[in-house]
Structure 1
Amino acid sequence: MGMYDLIIRNGNIVTSDEIIQGDIAISKGKIKEISRGTNLNAKALREINAEDQHILPGLIDTHVHFNEPGRTEWEGVETGSRSLAAGGVTTYFDMPLNSTPPTINKENLELKRACTEEKSIVNFRFWGGLVPENIEDIKELHENGVIGFKAFMSPSGIADFNHVDDITIFKGMNEIASIGSLLAVHAESTIICDQLAEEKQRQNSTSAKDFADSRPIISEIEAVRRIISYAEATGCKLHVVHASSRKVVEIINEAKQKGLDITVETCPHYLSLTLKDLEEKGGVAKCCPPLRDDQEVDQLWEAIANGEIDVIASDHSPAPADMKTVVDGDYFVAWGGISGAQSTLNIMLTEGHFNRQLSLERIVELTSTNPAKLFGLYPQKGVISVNSDADLVMVDLNESFELKKEDLFYRHKHSPYIGKEFKGKVTTTIVNGQVVFENGNITSVEKVEK
């Protein structure tokens, strides 16, 4: 037997099905051997003792906004991918907006791919956009490797990424269905949100609660019901992103039970933050849909426990601090987006595993296995098995820490999670067999090809 590149010994290996104690041998970026209970009789160029640690498949974050090309004063690929590595994420899907130009045609996709290949230290894929002006570009984007398509049913807040009207989204869904791809939607009602916001601002009612009240859960419900009817008519596979309420999830699950090909994602901020945090922390906790109340948080966790939610993704949408500042108490003006990509696993472990007894296997399913299956990456990714990619995260469940500003790898070191106590700490992240993060430090800046 030849020499392996890396052996991880004595770890508790977690998949979506089971936890076993054993060793993992890695060569040329792939898992080559897994032992159960006994020491692997082999040698490697490097060995890591994972005793008392848990080894999970690296997280797949299906929803991040990195601002390259363009807008790199917000968050670039270099800082963004390092933040993900520090949080145990080994693959991410970059959304088509917030970069300039947006990923709405082949030329723009190639620009994004070039800068990402140069700078990312973790694996990546790209979303294509669906906007009113690019239906004719959908097939070519698909042929050039986008993971799926993203549309906004309400204004995105980005001038060069227009939201879709009903005719555009219906035509786009027909096209996406014809090529066998998937549409992800930001589902809020333009009419409900715009009219309520206009009334609030006319009355000079601009507090955190006023902002949240202007984007109520019924706005999500209306948009989700509408897009489900379009999916039924077109046969388009559908993924609803960042659902903020179990009421939204229940509608999606009713559609699933009728045989519709539809999945739903929620985000760590909807599982750990509330309207009170928005009031106390200010713009750093502003997002769309907005944070809800304690009851909604608890009900989302119940939905997770019942298997009603498919994916957990960060929806990391950073911006410079001055854009997140609430001026004169006006919450409508500050940029809406949470900086949270580094903390997804910490929240799932602390709020889910320790506070609510959610199993580690279920966390793996939500953050890695399900995304891999949904987007055609399984069993290459999303699982710890022989011949799968050696994308792994090691965590010490016995270690607790308070997140501090200096711990963050973001370009702009702000997050609503600063000061939060977490239990369960990422110690090591491995991408394609290469240790990229270890004991608080980025240890490799070797770029990945894909």
Structure 2
Amino acid sequence: MQNSCDVLITNASVVIPKVGIVDTNIMIEDGKIKALTNSASNNISASRKIDAQGKYVLPGAIDPHVHYGVYTPIDEAARTESRSAAVGGVTTMIRMLRLYESYRNVTKQLEASRSNHYIDYSIHASILRLEQVKDIPYLKELGINSLKIYMNLGADLNHIYMDLEPGTHGVKDGEVNMTDELLSAIVKEGSKVHSTILVHAENPAICSEQMRSGKEKGMGGLKAWSDCRPPSSEAESVAKVSEFGRKFGANLYFVHIGSTAALDAVLAEREKGRSNYYIETCPHYLTHTVDFGSVTGKVVPPIRSKSDLQSMWSALRNGIVDTIGTDHVANRLDMKMGKDGDVWSALAGFPGIATMLPVLLSYGVNQDRISIERVAEVTSYNTARIFGMYPKKGTIQPGSDADLAIVDLDLEKKVTPELLQSYSDYTIYDGHRLKGWPVMTIVRGRVVMENGQIDREVLGHGEFVPRPVVT
């Protein structure tokens, strides 16, 4: 029936990317947007009606940069981290998967992921060894059409934690040496199959030398961490990979850009053409500086200066930054702090998936730095387009998945780890009062989160999203 649906959202101020804010009702049927209509709601039959009066409806956020399955196996991590994601209005999460063996074994990870997510999910494959390059066409067949390059691994900074085998615990170490040969091979093969290539741009030789010097001088704290992994090492790596990018006509996506120097380096390379360039920043580069007084803020690349923070807001506001990714790492405080509790022994990375939207709404929209339309672009629309999910994801239009975040710009909450419902028992936003929160998260027509509470019966509703999506 034309005037019937499963779910009807009434009185909605709908944020439609590239269109604007539209006051309308949203009809949802079979997990899809059926129609946007101004018909009187009492003329429409629906199993459930949701009144969104006074609130905005955004396309569900897509977090393109999530590490989970490293400190707990994916069969456990998917439950806790997709739950935390739903608290923050995230409806799709893309996992940074790191395997040391052949990616022909990725099916184990896919099997263990199935039935353990509250929200939808996809995967980026980290190519860490030359032998894995030949797996790239196979990955594309599975719908894993994006590859991660860790340029920061090499010299004596070659240690990384791998994703755990499903059902196992502990940590799994690996050593990676990102040589020019390996770098070139990944970009060449990835470009051949039209994959998006994600780049962690840091020069390990520069960082290693600086860190050795910093330790010898007894330096400490986040300022020392930033000084010893300087933005110049990012800029140099951006230029290096761009040479290969132009040679092979690559789609290069630079993850976690948080410094003026790195930003300028990408823009300089973008102007040369012959390669597509995308820029991701993270919420922590918009809210924290080296003055943050806790090593819980250790991350790579490091949190930078106040000037860098202002540059990132400007780039976000002016359309230079394409996406927001959280670089979420699901670890716990006792792991994070390391054996000595100093910046050198602490683990890099911290949780952030649940606070992505609240940070942008609170510090961005409510403080007049960016518009709510811009939030929808950088958290959903652009991400969906870059990673081959659009128009299934990333917008609110008939035929698209009914992935929605209903947000209240006036709702203020004090952040605590308990509020965020992650495996992690800490957050760098602990105690922050953020104004602007999702009050409902809907994934393909199912309400997963309402007023901060997760519907546990929805566990397993989340599906793997192969890319590019065939619609």
TM class by smaller structure: over 0.9
Deviation of residue 67 (structure 1)? 0.8
Could you tell me how far apart the structure 1 residues matched to 2:100 and 2:6 are?
39
The alignment partner of 2:27 has SS state of strand
- Does structure 1 retain, via aligned residues, the 8 Å contact 2:381–2:390? yes
Could you tell me how far apart the structure 1 residues matched to 2:74 and 2:5 are?
41
- Does structure 2 retain, via aligned residues, the 8 Å contact 1:86–1:429? yes
Residue number in structure 2 paired with 1:47 = 49
- 1:289-337 CA-to-partner distances (Å, cap 9, x unmatched) read 1111111111110111111111101110121211211655631110000
Q: Does 1:31 align with 2:33?
A: yes
Q: Does 1:147 align with 2:160?
A: no
Residue number in structure 1 paired with 2:9 = 8
Could you tell me how far apart the structure 1 residues matched to 2:57 and 2:276 are?
32
Q: Does 1:120 align with 2:117?
A: yes
Residue number in structure 2 paired with 1:211 = 225
Q: Cα RMSD (Å) of the superposition? A: 1.9
- Does structure 2 retain, via aligned residues, the 8 Å contact 1:88–1:426? yes
Deviation of residue 74 (structure 1)? 12
AA aligned opposite 2:110: R
Q: Does 1:77 align with 2:78?
A: yes
Could you tell me how far apart the structure 2 residues matched to 1:262 and 1:129 are?
19
AA aligned opposite 1:125: S
Residue number in structure 2 paired with 1:281 = 294
Deviation of residue 432 (structure 1)? 0.6
Q: Does 1:164 align with 2:162?
A: no
AA aligned opposite 2:22: I
Q: Does 1:243 align with 2:257?
A: yes
The alignment partner of 1:231 has SS state of helix
The alignment partner of 1:275 has SS state of coil
- 1:363-418 CA-to-partner distances (Å, cap 9, x unmatched) read 10001000011111111110000111000000111111111232021112211011
Change (3 A) 1:7 1:275: same
Counterpart selection for 1:388 from 400, 407, 415 = 400
Normalising by structure 1, what TM-score?
0.94
Residue number in structure 2 paired with 1:87 = 88
Could you tell me how far apart the structure 2 residues matched to 1:126 and 1:409 are?
22
User: How many residues are treated as equivalent by the alignment?
Assistant: 442
Change (3 A) 1:74 1:345: same
Could you tell me how far apart the structure 2 residues matched to 1:218 and 1:244 are?
12
Identity of aligned residues (%): 32
Residue number in structure 2 paired with 1:366 = 378
The alignment partner of 1:10 has SS state of strand
Residue number in structure 2 paired with 1:269 = 284
The alignment partner of 1:119 has SS state of coil
List gaps (5 residues or longer) in structure 2: 154-158, 162-172, 465-471
Could you tell me how far apart the structure 2 residues matched to 1:52 and 1:187 are?
42
Residue number in structure 1 paired with 2:97 = 96
The more displaced of 418-427 and 246-255 is 246-255
Change (3 A) 1:74 1:350: farther
List gaps (5 residues or longer) in structure 1: none
Change (3 A) 1:154 1:27: same
Change (3 A) 1:421 1:104: farther
Counterpart selection for 2:419 from 393, 402, 407 = 407
Change (3 A) 1:73 1:15: closer
Could you tell me how far apart the structure 2 residues matched to 1:94 and 1:358 are?
27
Could you tell me how far apart the structure 2 residues matched to 1:54 and 1:202 are?
53
The alignment partner of 2:294 has SS state of helix
Change (3 A) 1:104 1:123: farther
- Does structure 2 retain, via aligned residues, the 8 Å contact 1:75–1:410? no
AA aligned opposite 2:242: I
Change (3 A) 1:373 1:403: same
AA aligned opposite 1:53: K
Counterpart selection for 1:231 from 229, 245, 255 = 245
Deviation of residue 207 (structure 1)? 3.1
Deviation of residue 71 (structure 1)? 3.4
Counterpart selection for 1:175 from 177, 189, 199 = 189
Could you tell me how far apart the structure 2 residues matched to 1:217 and 1:143 are?
37
